Amino acid sequence: MNNFSRKDFLRISALASATLMLPKFLRGADTSVQSEINNLFLSQTNGKRLIVVQFSGGNDGLNMVIPHGNDLYHSNRPTVGIKVPEVLKFDDYHGLNPNMKGIHDLYNNGHFAALNCVGYPDPNRSHFRSMDIWHGGCGPNEYLTTGWIGRYLDSLGEQTPPHQAVEIDDTMSLALKGETRNGIANRNPKKMKILTEDKLLMQIANDYTHHESDHALVDYLHQCLAETAQSAQYLIEKSKIGGAKEIYPQHAFGKQMKNVADLILAGSETSIFYVTLTGFDTHAGQNNQQNRLLGIYSQAIEALAKDLQAAGKWNDTLVMTFSEFGRRVKQNGSQGTDHGTANVVMFASGGLKKKGVITEAADLQNLEEGDLIYKIDFRQVYATVLQNWLGANHETILGQKFELLDFV
């Protein structure tokens, strides 16, 4: 992050002083003043964007980034495994699920990379607990109330608006919650704006405006309400501009990714978008379900890449895709796979340093109770994204120092 100049400091001080002359509730809702402050603070970011895609349910990484050259893969998955002729190959060992042609095209252009065996020590096979660990960016025995993206927002300063990190959903994940700053969950800006204009909420706000109260919780709720209204209005205005021209899948995830593309192409100052694709808990009948989902994902990311390439914004955008855990190496008796541990994390961008599978192959011979053994701590991945891509201090955000990887 760059340091503020004296000129910037004086401008922020003057604007902050001006807001103190307003009633408490209007103070947060004065968009012209707040926007000027936001712009000064956000000028300290490096202009790069991160799109986090969460595969909920525990995606089977071995049937996504496939070690087709390993006989153990095929012997452990005689029916669930993807047959060699179907694989979209990178080389003689690795390749992609046949439904990921769009991602394979990105690979051919140097815009796709994957990390094998990403996880953490003492892995947890509970969907909820493992997702909390990934969201919090913490160790398996830590229980945090903040997320790694939320703490990144904290690091940007107290004037950082909620729409600096947008989750395309109705509820906000732990990942976007900080100590002092939060992102915003927003599937539909217009519906959110209606909620913030609720007459009862406005009456409560106005009642507190006319009382001298030192109640910290009341002040906090006031601030949240005002900032949410402001961010909702900001996102409404940006979404009106639109800009996406490619065809996105007619699926909730496709619509969400088009929403992201529209906001980026409209010039939104949002630096982090968070999107979820559900349905990966494939204990039975895995192939049809996972293949369908991976096809939707691949089509949406390909459309996003083409839209952003045409606008000259793809090189400054990084798409990171993860799941809370992988699946077991050996298929089960129901044509599916059960909860596992280490998994693949994927990246797509015009700004990658390397392409393809950039870590060593998953070891299918030496397993722990039938599961892959992690080789890369997922916090190393976060640290690399925070430090090398977003220009943040990863040690401050994650609470300790991690060895950085070399993909961005």
Which pTM value belongs to this model?
Answer: 0.85
pLDDT of residue 404: 98
Looking at residue 296, the DSSP 8-state letter turns out to be H
Rounded to the nearest 5°, which phi and psi values hold at 386? -65, -50
Closest among 229, 251, 325, 291 to 64, alpha carbons compared = 291
What's the Cα-to-Cα distance from 84 to each of 89, 287, 325, rounded to whole Å? 9, 15, 25
As a whole number, mean pLDDT of residues 204-217 equals 55
CA-derived radius of gyration, the chain:
22
| Residue at 280: amino acid letter | F
| Residue at 271: amino acid letter | S
30-39, 74-83, 270-279, 356-365 — which is least confidently predicted? Answer: 30-39
Q: Are 286 and 63 in contact (CB under 8 A)?
A: yes
For the residues of 89-120, what is the DSSP string, one character each? ESSSS-EE-TT-HHHHHHHHTT-EEEEEEEE-
Closest among 56, 76, 58 to 283, alpha carbons compared = 58
pLDDT tens figures, 89-111? 999 999 999 999 999 999 999 99
Looking at residue 385, the DSSP 8-state letter turns out to be I
| Residue at 307: amino acid letter | D
Cα dihedral angle (373, 379, 145, 25), rounded to 10 degrees?
A: -150
Rounded to the nearest 5°, which phi and psi values hold at 24? -55, -50
The alpha helices in 50-198, defined as continuous H runs, are: 71-76, 101-108, 127-136, 148-156, 189-196
- Token pair, residue 18, equals 């001006």
| pLDDT higher than threshold 50 for residue 23 | no
As a whole number, mean pLDDT of residues 260-268 equals 93
pLDDT of residue 12: 42
Quick one: 14 exposed, middle or buried, by C-beta within 10 A (0-12, 13-18, 19+)?
A: exposed
Enumerate the β-bridge partners of residue 398: none
pLDDT of residue 264: 95
For the residues of 259-276, what is the DSSP string, one character each? HHHHHHHTT----EEEEE
Q: Are 124 and 140 in contact (CB under 8 A)?
A: yes
Enumerate the β-bridge partners of residue 371: 368
Q: How confident is the model at residue 13 (pLDDT cuts 50, 70, 90)?
A: very low
Closest among 128, 117, 184 to 153, alpha carbons compared = 184
pLDDT tens figures, 33-92? 445 544 544 445 688 999 999 999 999 999 999 999 999 999 999 999 999 999 999 999
pLDDT tens figures, 129-141? 999 999 999 999 9
